[in-house]
Amino acid sequence: MNAHPLFQQKLDVLNALRARSAAARAEFRSNSRFYVEPRGDAWAVVDAGSRRLHGQCMRYPEAVKYAEQLERAVEKRDGLVMSVKELGERMTRWASLLGLGIVVWAMWGA
């Protein structure tokens, strides 16, 4: 049974919109580390890479806010650069002497 041409045209438009929506969701998830999805009566905040659940909120705006906070925390953590200051020979000797003193003190006290 063939559908009416206008009805078929509307179905084609709807299918095209669904395809664009799916592509937009996939692109968004590939650019974001966390996303929000419905789970039961709540909204789940999920890690996009591992699909691990990070939290649930009852309201969508709260879930989005939490996902954004997680995003900022990861960016801040990834942006940290450890810098190690090279100790001079004199400081190394004092640190060694302190360590030796602690060992002697521990042995003497025992």
- Encode pLDDT of 10-63 as tens digits: 999 999 999 998 888 777 667 788 889 999 999 999 988 888 999 899 999 999
pLDDT at 108 over 60: yes
Report the C-alpha gap between 95 and 104 in whole angstroms: 14
**What's CA 102's distance to the chain center, in Å?**
42
pLDDT of 76 strictly over 60: yes
**Spatial CA neighbour of 33 closest among 59, 70, 77, 62:** 70
Cα angle, residue 72 at apex, residues 39 and 74 outer, rounded to 5°? 85
Mean pLDDT of 52-75: 89
Alpha-carbon dihedral sign for residues 31, 33, 35, 39? positive
**H-helix or E-strand spanning residue 110:** none
CA atoms within 13 A on the CB side of 81: 2
Domain residue ranges in the chain: 1-31, 33-78
Q: What's the CA angle centered on 20, arms 14 and 25, to 5 degrees?
A: 125
